[in-house]
């Protein structure tokens, strides 16, 4: 079964989905099994990866359920989407297709995440710690379409590290980075030994979990790529930062701008229950802002007025082309209104939902 | 106070919101009170009305809370947004601005909705009925910008009728229409007697409440406009119909198309808990389709794959330019993904929210 799956992925004859035929039957060269591997034909405006669909279905990673044991839901999405975003600098989305990790097995993951011992020489955690330093390993596979075949051409590995290894001690960022580097140099030879992994670029992302149970997300703090061989030495800091607005202790310009935006919105729509912003900073500059507005209104006309107002206010306040913005208006009925702009866009879109 | 409010609305000197100054102080000609009446400067791509903001705030109708007593939440939004949509054929959104009803007072509404008697000669309900025939009267005001003044230039009146006037009997559509016409001819002279209402077009919409507590919305079934005078005779049927997909008893082409769409989605994403479509038909043709997909997945990559898949499937299945489509993917965390197209658009937009 593993061989079949690999053959589908490594080398399969494939025709792209056309608007007329919803799927194509294509022949796999190694084992002659009939299969479909298709992607969406929709132009990729958002900068996201095109997703590969195999056998007419979206294929999830088989190890995913086993390994995603992070402290909070916020950590999970930041861990997954963060690795995909980091991968874009190694594996260009206009060239590479994405598929969730297919090749690392549950058995391998279990051995790697367990404590190193004589019986388990490949364990990456050590028994000195109360909490495991490595909580999770995430695999993302990147494929290239070459003469009608999707070829496995790059892989990203996310390592979620828990800085709070004992109840009393928390590792510093330097200590965490040093430990992460060690782990990657233990893991890389194990990966290189796997079929298909021997000669492709392997990107590693080190993720620091948020250990409190608050609103904050964990973040990636360092990446490195091995193009070949069994050790990496060149690391980059990702300098990702997450901040929540408004926060009384935050006296930065970004915080003032958010507070002014919040006041303007509250002045026009007096029934609001709360406005909170979740910002992501890349290399010190705000790259993403997610705003959630909670309100109690029920009028449809009022929601359209709010839509027009928010599109205008956001356009005046958050106009930087490289900034991605999402504003959600929520009531007890759920999400009522979304106003958004992707990175690279200059105008806002909006949709009233109810 | 009522005079001040009217003077603001009937005739106020106003400068439009510019991108640099967030509001303008403008002088009201009648009472010299400083005020602001501004609208959004954002281009109106969606065909919605521009909303008028007065004194720096969105102004709700003062009678709204008193009068909106409909059977279900679904009825309320259909009643309100429905009247706004019907108004577009009388009051062109490129020319008219919208404001929630400002001129009918609570006192008037209370008298009109009460049973007609010697003490209450203007009551529109009669005492033969157990349930009131008229549940609610909704006012929407339409303004024109003329030489810097917003002038009150049109009004729409929605009348929500309850076909189930006694526990045992339900009025037929013909009976409901006849009763509605009678009521409009009683109400129109009362409206014409009000200041500002004497010489403007007044549109009436007759709304049939849905009396079951199911998923269905009530709908408008007839409209008429009085350009002048105190009676209307020319009525149009609105022929609005609401349908829910999939429904086993529905053997129409629209139903088959929906079922095929549902199957395609379920094939690609096997973890879905349900796909339901709410369709609106105008004069027999589907004009609006709201699809809700409930699922349990948690992966960010999977959500992006689902986004790409839905944009493509919707584009192939529901491509008619005049059709407005909203597809929402919901999990326990709320709305995760929205794929949509407005009427008049040929391509789909999409946004992943979490």
pLDDT of A156-179, one tens digit each? 999 999 888 777 788 888 999 999
| Closest approach of A35 to chain B, Cα-based (Å) | 14
Q: Is B148 left (phi over 0), alpha (psi -120 to 50) or beta?
A: left
Same domain assignment for residues B89 and B180: yes
Nearest to A228 by CA among A177, A191, A182: A191
Q: pLDDT tens for residues B49-66? A: 988 887 777 887 877 655
Identify the band that residue A315 occupies on the pLDDT scale cut at 50, 70 and 90.
Answer: very high
Which pLDDT score is estimated for B130?
Answer: 67
Q: Which of residues 170-199 of B touch A (CB under 8 A)?
A: none
Helix intervals (H) in chain B: 2-10, 64-67, 73-87, 106-113, 173-192, 253-268, 300-317
Compare all CA atoms of chain A with the CA of B42 and give the residue at the minimum distance.
A312
Note whether A312 contacts B: Cβ–Cβ < 8 A.
Answer: yes
Q: How far is CA A124 from CA A76, A128, A176, A184, A235, in A?
A: 21, 12, 14, 9, 20
Same domain, A232 and A250: no
- Per CB-CB distance under 8 Å, the chain B contacts of A267 are 56-57
- What mean pLDDT comes out for the span A110-132? 87
Is B60 in the A-facing interface, judged by CB distances under 8 Å?
yes
pLDDT digits (tens, 9 = 90+) for A234-289: 999 887 788 899 988 888 999 999 999 999 999 888 778 899 999 999 888 999 99
Q: Out of A100, A309, A349, whose CB is closest to B40?
A: A309
Nearest chain B residue to A292 by CA distance is B353
Using DSSP's 3-state secondary structure scheme, residue B205 falls into strand
The answer to whether B116 contacts chain A (CB < 8 Å) is no
Number of helical H runs and strand E runs in chain A: 7, 17
From B238, B257, B283, the end of a domain falls on: B238
**Interface predicted TM-score (ipTM):** 0.80
Arithmetic mean of pLDDT over chain A: 82
Structural domain contains residue B66: yes
Q: What pLDDT shows up at residue B73?
A: 61
Pair (B231, B253) in one structural domain: no
Q: Nearest Cβ partner of B335 from A311, A316, A334? A: A334
| 8 A C-beta contact, residue B294 and residue B274 | yes
> pLDDT class for A129, splitting at 50, 70, 90?
low
Report the residue from A58, A302, A338 with minimal CB separation from B353. Answer: A338
Question: Under a CB-based contact definition with an 8 Å cutoff, are residues B279 and B245 in contact?
Answer: yes
Q: CB-based contact (8 Å) between A83 and chain B?
A: no
For B24-34, what is each residue's pLDDT tens digit?
A: 333 223 333 33
- Which pLDDT score, from 0 to 100, does residue B39 have? 67
With CB atoms and an 8 Å threshold, state whether B349 touches A354: no
Q: Which residues contact A245 (CB under 8 A, 6 or more apart)?
A: A254, A255, A258, A259, A262, A276, A277, A278, A279
User: What pLDDT score does A21 carry?
Assistant: 30
Kindly state whether residues A116 and A225 are assigned to the same domain.
yes
Tell me, what's the pLDDT at A202? 98
Q: Taking each helix axis as running N to C, give the angle between helix A73-90 and helix B300-317, from 0 to 180 degrees, rounded to the nearest 10.
A: 70
In a domain, A198, yes or no: yes
Decide if B82 is inside a domain: yes
Asked whether the beta carbons of residue B60 and residue A334 sit closer than 8 angstroms, the reply is no
User: Are residues B195 and B102 part of one domain?
Assistant: yes
Whether residue B65 is contained in a domain is answered as yes
Where does the pLDDT of residue A108 fall: very low under 50, low under 70, confident under 90, or very high at 90 and above? very high
Containing A301, the helix (H) or strand (E) segment is: helix A300-317
Contact assessment for residue B57 and residue A270, using Cβ atoms and an 8 Å cutoff: yes
Choosing from A205, A238, A271, the residue where a domain stops is A238
How close A214 comes to chain B (CA, Å)?
16
CA-nearest of B322, B260, B329, B271 to B297 is B271
**Which residue on chain A is closest to B324 by alpha carbon?**
A351
Helix, strand, or coil (residue A158): strand
| Chain-chain contact of A57 with B264 (C-beta, under 8 angstroms) | no
- What pLDDT score does A341 carry? 95
What mean pLDDT do residues A42-55 have?
74
Exposed e or buried b for every residue in A164-189, given b needs 16+ CB within 10 A? bbeeeeebeeeebbebbbebbbebbe
* Cross-chain CB nearest to A60 (options B53, B302, B304): B302
Q: Is B100 on the interface with A (CB under 8 A)?
A: yes
Contact A326 B51 (CB under 8 A): no
Q: How many Å lie between the alpha carbon of B5 and the closest alpha carbon of chain A?
A: 18
For residue B50, give Cα distances in angstroms to A260, B36, B84, B151: 24, 16, 12, 14
- CATH number for the domain harbouring residue A90: 3.10.570.10
Nearest partner of A105 among A206, A3, A29, judged by Cα = A3
What Cα–Cα distance (Å) separates residue B52 from each residue in A146, A314, B80, B121, B201? 56, 18, 17, 35, 19
Select the residue of A56, A81, A268 nearest B267 (Cβ to Cβ).
A56
- Of the residues A208, A238, A268, which one is the last residue of a structural domain? A238
Where does the pLDDT of residue A130 fall: very low under 50, low under 70, confident under 90, or very high at 90 and above?
Answer: low
Task: Output the pLDDT for position A28.
Answer: 25
Distance CA B210, CA B70 (A): 9
* Predicted local distance difference test score (pLDDT) of residue B26: 32
Please indicate, yes or no, whether residues A109 and A208 belong to a single structural domain of this protein.
yes
Locus of tokens 């007890």: A332
Measure the CA–CA gap between B20 and B345, rounded to whole angstroms.
31
Test mutation, A66, A142, A305, chain B, max B CBs within 10 A: A305
B18: chain A residues, CB-CB within 8 Å: none
Bigger pLDDT: B187 vs A37: B187
Yes or no: say if B132 and B153 are a contact pair by the CB < 8 Å rule: no
Q: Provide the domain limits for residue B342.
A: 242-352
B59 in contact with A at a CB cutoff of 8 Å? no
**Distance from C-alpha of B326 to C-alpha of B277, rounded to nearest angstrom:** 10
* Inside any domain, residue A49: no
pLDDT at A132: 81
pLDDT in tens, B301-349: 888 889 999 999 999 999 999 999 999 999 888 899 999 999 989 999 9
Same domain, A248 and A227: no
Backbone phi, then psi, for A340, in 5-degree steps? -155, 160
Tell me whether residue B191 is in a domain.
yes
- Assess whether B233 and B248 both reside in one domain: no
Which residues from chain B sit within 8 angstroms of residue A22, using beta carbons?
264, 316
- CA B162, B163, B169, B175 dihedral sign is positive
For residues A171 and A297, membership in a common domain is answered with: no
State mean pLDDT over B194-203: 95
Rounded distance, CA B91 to CA B236, Å? 16
Answer yes or no: do B353 and A326 touch at CB < 8 A.
yes
Judge: B330–A334 Cβ closer than 8 Å, yes or no: yes
User: Which are the contacts of B232, defined by CB distance < 8 A and separation ≥ 6?
Assistant: B181, B184, B185, B188, B204, B224, B225, B226
Asked if the model's pLDDT at residue A71 lies above 80, the reply is no
Strand partners, A319: none
Query: For B253-299, what is each residue's pLDDT tens digit?
Result: 999 999 999 999 998 887 788 999 999 998 889 999 999 999 986 67
Q: How far is B121 from chain A (nearest CA, A)?
A: 31
B226 plus B247 within the same structural domain: no
Same domain, B253 and B304: yes
Query: What kind and span of H or E run contains A310?
Result: helix A300-317
Bridge partner residues of B287 (DSSP): none
Query: Which residues in chain B (203-262) have CB-CB distances under 8 A to chain A?
Result: none
Phi, psi (degrees; rounded to nearest 5) at A291: -110, 130
How distant is the Cα of A343 from the closest Cα of chain B, in angstroms?
A: 13
Is the backbone peptide bond immediately before A165 cis, with ω within 30 degrees of 0?
A: no
CB contact under 8 A, B19 and A330: no
Same domain, B170 and B108: yes
Asked whether residue A50 carries a pLDDT value surpassing 80, the answer given is yes
Is there a domain that residue A303 lies in? yes
Chain B residues near residue A76 by CB distance under 8 angstroms: 298
CATH code for the domain of B322: 3.30.300.190
| Contact call for A309 and B57, based on CB within 8 A | no
Interface A-B: count of C-beta contacts within 8 A: 145
In a domain, A9, yes or no: no
Q: Pick from A53, A270, A308: which is nearest to B51 by CB?
A: A308
- Domains held by chain B: number: 2
């Amino acid at each position: 079964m593993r061989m079949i799956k690999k053959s589908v992925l490594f080398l399969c004859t494939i025709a792209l989905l056309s608007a007329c035929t919803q799927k194509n039957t294509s022949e796999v060269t190694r084992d002659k099994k009939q299969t479909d591997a298709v992607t969406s034909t929709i132009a990729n405006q958002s900068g996201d990866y095109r997703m590969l669909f195999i056998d007419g279905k979206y294929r999830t990673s088989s190890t995913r359920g086993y390994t995603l044991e992070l402290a909070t839901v916020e950590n999970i999405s930041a861990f997954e989407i963060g690795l995909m975003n980091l991968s874009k600098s190694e594996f260009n989305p206009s060239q590479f297709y994405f598929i969730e990790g297919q090749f690392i097995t549950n058995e391998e993951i279990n051995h790697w995440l367990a404590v190193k011992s004589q019986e388990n020489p490949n364990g990456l955690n050590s028994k000195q710690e109360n909490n495991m330093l490595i909580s999770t390993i995430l695999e993302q596979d990147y494929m290239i379409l070459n003469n009608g075949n999707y070829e496995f051409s790059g892989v990203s590995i996310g390592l979620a590290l828990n800085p709070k290894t004992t109840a009393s001690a928390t590792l510093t960022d330097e200590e965490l980075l040093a430990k992460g580097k060690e782990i990657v140099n233990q893991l890389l030879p194990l990966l290189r030994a796997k079929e298909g992994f021997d000669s492709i670029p392997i990107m590693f992302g080190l993720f620091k979990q948020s250990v409190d149970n608050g609103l904050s997300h964990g973040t990636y703090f360092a990446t490195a790529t091995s193009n070949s061989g069994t050790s990496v030495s060149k690391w980059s800091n990702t300098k990702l930062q997450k901040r929540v607005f408004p926060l009384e202790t935050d006296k930065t310009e970004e915080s003032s701008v958010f507070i002014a935006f919040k006041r303007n919105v509250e002045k026009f729509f007096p029934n609001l229950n709360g406005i909170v912003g979740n910002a992501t900073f890349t290399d010190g500059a705000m790259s993403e802002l997610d705003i959630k507005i909670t309100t109690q209104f029920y009028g449809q006309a009022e929601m359209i007025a709010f839509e027009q107002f928010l599109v205008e206010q956001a356009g005046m306040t958050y106009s930087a082309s490289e900034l991605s913005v999402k504003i959600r208006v929520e009531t007890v009925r759920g999400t009522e209104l979304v106003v958004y702009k992707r990175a690279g866009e200059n105008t806002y879109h909006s949709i009233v939902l109810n």
